[in-house]
């Protein structure tokens, strides 16, 4: 069916889809059902259709939509230039956010508003900043309101800041060359003067490192102040570039000035409930409607005005918090991979992108070691039911992964993704006669609570319990005290060097998942020391020796994904 002269043409990444779906105007109709992953761009021809449309699919090339008689032309027509550019697919879930539906109800093809977050790898240098500029401009064109852009520190700046602090403390050396050079090189290549832009911050940083050197102290509070320079530098440079080189009304915003409040758990602070209301009020009252806010990810301030950080990778949480506060159409997190992959690509090079996952599945993955998302980053978006799209800034036409409340269809593959958490400690606790089965578990868990030690996985029998702890997080004095208390009621043994291999899987098909996993592990002589399944609907986890974890992942990945 050819596109009629009344039809509108614009380009979206190839959206996995099937015929027979109902269409609503959004850049990718929300009801599309993922069938397979398709890369590249496909053209979508049509006119604004709300409700049903007869259409023909010619995958992987293009989609054509016939315009039923009398359907009005969408309000906003993409320009020829925009039509030639690969665009973001949006809200391809059955759970399309209200804002997307509203814009379609109004007959427009635009999104209402999005948050775009760019991680360090997307911002490594001036060239990457120029690429990110294209993505921001594309979003400006696609949305009714300007996007809110959240930035991480450029490239490895956070690690460099931490090692600069460490050197000042342990060697008495103040060396911020790499941080200064990255900022200066970016400014120079983008034709920006460093004078008012980055020099004041670099001077503060120098003073801070001198302080660390002479006072010989680097507390978690100081560490947070130290790493905050990374994000504060990147938003200033990028906003200045958008203003000066692109003529856009961009404003650099430190998140704490936009309402981000946290507790004082330095290096891993929790956002206070008041944050979302404050952020909403900031954007309503202190930011002009046409301004493009470039906001620091990762940082907040506590009640006393100290800068805090939200844990490594915390910019994802900043983005999702702003998205929830403003009720945006979607939150985009731009990284250097084609979305959430079936496993860590550093373990299995051929890992495949997962088109769509549910919030709970993404959270399970992050919690069980997938380094792609911050474990609690999804929570605000999940509460507000805002889709989060993980995209690749190096390959923007790829649809990436959309994280939504409900998946439209159950996937054929019972396993969605595999992750690994290393450095796990296993604790075996067997009841002594002093305490019978009755009350045993209560007593054991009371002791873990008293000593504030959190547990990952548990397997129990009537008189024994095995559980896992994250070794890196345990303070040895706390563990000694806990062990002494446990030994009052049980025989206890600790062993280290384990790993949790975690499958985000359809637990309703657990027999299949376990049978296939155990088969390949057994053939390779890899012992499974403990299994946990069922506490969550999405997770099946097994403990193996740390040294065997990589092989275990390779084998299970091959069993379920064929590569």
Residue 153: which of ligand ADP, Mg ion, ligand ASP, none does it interact with, CB under 5 to 8 A by kind? ligand ASP
- Smallest distance, Å, CB 319 to ligand ASP? 9
**Partners of 296 in the beta sheet?**
151
Main-chain phi, psi angles of 298, to 5 degrees: 80, -25
Determine the size of the site formed for Mg ion (CB under 5 A). Answer: 2
**Residue 271 interacting with ligand ADP (CB under 6 A):** no
Instruction: Give residues with Cβ within 8 angstroms of 186, minimum separation 6.
Output: 125, 126, 129, 154, 192, 237
How far CA 239 is from CA of 190, 249, 261, in Å, comes to: 11, 9, 23
**Residue 420 interacting with ligand ADP (CB under 6 A):** no
* Contact criterion met (CB below 8 Å) for 395 and 338: yes
Binding mask 304-333 for Mg ion (x = CB under 5 A): ---------x--------------------
* Intra-chain end-to-end CA distance of the chain, in Å: 38
Residue 312: which of ligand ASP, ligand ADP, Mg ion, none does it interact with, CB under 5 to 8 A by kind? ligand ASP
Q: Which of 310, 319, 370, 556 binds ligand ADP (CB under 6 A)?
A: 370
Residue closest to ligand ADP (Cβ)? 119
- Is the peptide bond prior to 450 cis by the omega test (within 30 degrees of 0)? no
**Residue 153 interacting with ligand ASP (CB under 6 A):** yes
Q: Which two tokens stand for residue 23?
A: 């269409």
Binding mask 296-315 for ligand ASP (x = CB under 6 A): -xx-------------xxxx
User: For residue 300, how far is the Cα from the chain centroid?
Assistant: 18
Angle at 296 between CA 295 and CA 299, to 5 degrees: 135
- Smallest distance, Å, CB 153 to ligand ASP? 4
**Residue 313 interacting with ligand ADP (CB under 6 A):** yes
Q: Which of residues 78-137 bind Mg ion (CB under 5 A)?
A: 119
Name the one range near ligand ADP by CB under 6 A: 247-255, 277-285, 365-373, 538-546.
Answer: 365-373
323, 294, 299, 301: which is closest to 311 by C-alpha? 299
Residue 537: which of Mg ion, ligand ASP, ligand ADP, none does it interact with, CB under 5 to 8 A by kind? none
**Residue 120 interacting with ligand ASP (CB under 6 A):** yes
Instruction: Give residues with Cβ within 8 angstroms of 283, minimum separation 6.
Output: 148, 258, 293, 325, 326
Instruction: Give residues with Cβ within 8 angstroms of 297, minimum separation 6.
Output: 117, 150, 151, 152, 231, 255, 314, 315, 316, 318, 319
* Contact criterion met (CB below 8 Å) for 402 and 413: no
For ligand ADP, the closer of residues 183 and 417 by Cβ is 417
**Residue 119 interacting with ligand ADP (CB under 6 A):** yes
For ligand ASP, the closer of residues 473 and 537 by Cβ is 473
Binding mask 73-112 for ligand ASP (x = CB under 6 A): ----------------------------------------
- Smallest distance, Å, CB 123 to ligand ADP? 8
Q: Which residues bind Mg ion (CB under 5 A)?
A: 119, 313
Q: Which residues bind ligand ASP (CB under 6 A)?
A: 119-120, 152-153, 158, 230, 297-298, 312-315
């Amino acid at each position: 069916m050819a596109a009629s002269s009344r039809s509108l043409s614009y380009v979206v990444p190839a959206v996995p889809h099937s015929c027979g779906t109902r269409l609503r105007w959004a850049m990718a109709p929300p009801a599309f059902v993922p069938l397979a992953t398709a890369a590249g761009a496909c053209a979508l021809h049509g006119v604004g259709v709300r409700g049903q449309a007869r259409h023909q699919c010619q995958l992987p090339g293009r989609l054509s939509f016939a315009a039923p008689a009398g359907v009005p032309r969408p309000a906003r027509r993409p320009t020829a230039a925009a039509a030639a550019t690969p665009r973001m697919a949006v809200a391809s879930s059955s759970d399309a956010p209200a804002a997307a539906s509203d814009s379609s109800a109004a007959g427009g093809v635009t999104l209402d508003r999005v948050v775009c977050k760019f991680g360090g790898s997307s911002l490594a240098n001036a060239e990457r900043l120029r690429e990110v500029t294209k993505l921001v401009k594309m979003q400006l064109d696609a949305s009714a309101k300007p996007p809110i852009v959240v930035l991480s520190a450029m490239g490895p700046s956070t690690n460099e800041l931490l090692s600069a602090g460490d050197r000042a403390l342990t060697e008495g050396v103040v060396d911020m060359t790499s941080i200064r050079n990255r900022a200066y090189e970016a400014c120079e290549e983008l034709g920006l003067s460093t004078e008012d832009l980055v020099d004041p911050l670099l001077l503060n940083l120098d003073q801070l490192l001198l302080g660390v050197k002479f006072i010989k102290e680097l507390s978690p509070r100081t560490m947070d102040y130290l790493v905050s320079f990374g994000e504060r530098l990147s938003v200033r440079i990028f906003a200045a570039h958008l203003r000066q080189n692109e003529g856009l009304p961009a404003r650099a915003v430190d998140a704490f000035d936009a309402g981000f409040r946290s507790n004082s758990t330095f290096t891993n602070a929790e956002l206070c409930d008041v944050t979302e209301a404050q952020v909403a009020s900031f954007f309503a009252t202190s930011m002009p409607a046409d301004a493009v806010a470039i906001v620091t990810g990762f940082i907040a301030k506590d009640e006393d005005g100290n800068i805090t950080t939200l844990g490594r990778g915390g910019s994802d949480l900043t983005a999702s918090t702003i998205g929830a506060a403003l009720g945006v159409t979607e939150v985009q997190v731009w990284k250097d991979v084609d979305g959430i992959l079936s496993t860590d690509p550093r373990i299995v090079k051929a890992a495949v992108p997962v088109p769509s996952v549910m919030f709970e599945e993404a959270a399970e993955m992050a919690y069980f070691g997938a380094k792609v998302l911050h474990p609690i980053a999804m929570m605000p978006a999940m509460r507000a039911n805002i889709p989060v799209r993980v995209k690749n800034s190096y390959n923007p036409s790829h649809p990436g992964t959309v994280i939504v409340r409900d998946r439209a269809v159950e996937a054929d593959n019972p396993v969605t993704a595999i992750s690994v958490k290393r450095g796990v400690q296993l604790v075996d606790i067997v009841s002594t006669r002093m305490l019978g089965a009755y009350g045993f578990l209560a007593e054991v868990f009371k002791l873990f609570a008293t000593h504030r030690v959190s547990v990952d996985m548990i397997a129990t029998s009537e008189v024994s319990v095995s559980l896992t702890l994250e070794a890196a997080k345990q303070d040895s004095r706390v563990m000694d005290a806990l062990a002494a208390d446990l030994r009052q009621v049980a025989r206890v043994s600790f062993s280290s060097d384990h790993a949790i291999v975690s499958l985000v899987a359809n637990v309703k098909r657990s027999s299949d998942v376990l049978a296939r996993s155990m088969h390949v592990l057994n053939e390779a002589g890899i012992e499974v020391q403990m299994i946990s399944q069922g506490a969550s609907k999405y997770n099946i986890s097994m403990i193996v020796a740390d040294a065997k974890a990589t092989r275990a992942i390779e084998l299970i990945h091959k069993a379920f994904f064929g590569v």
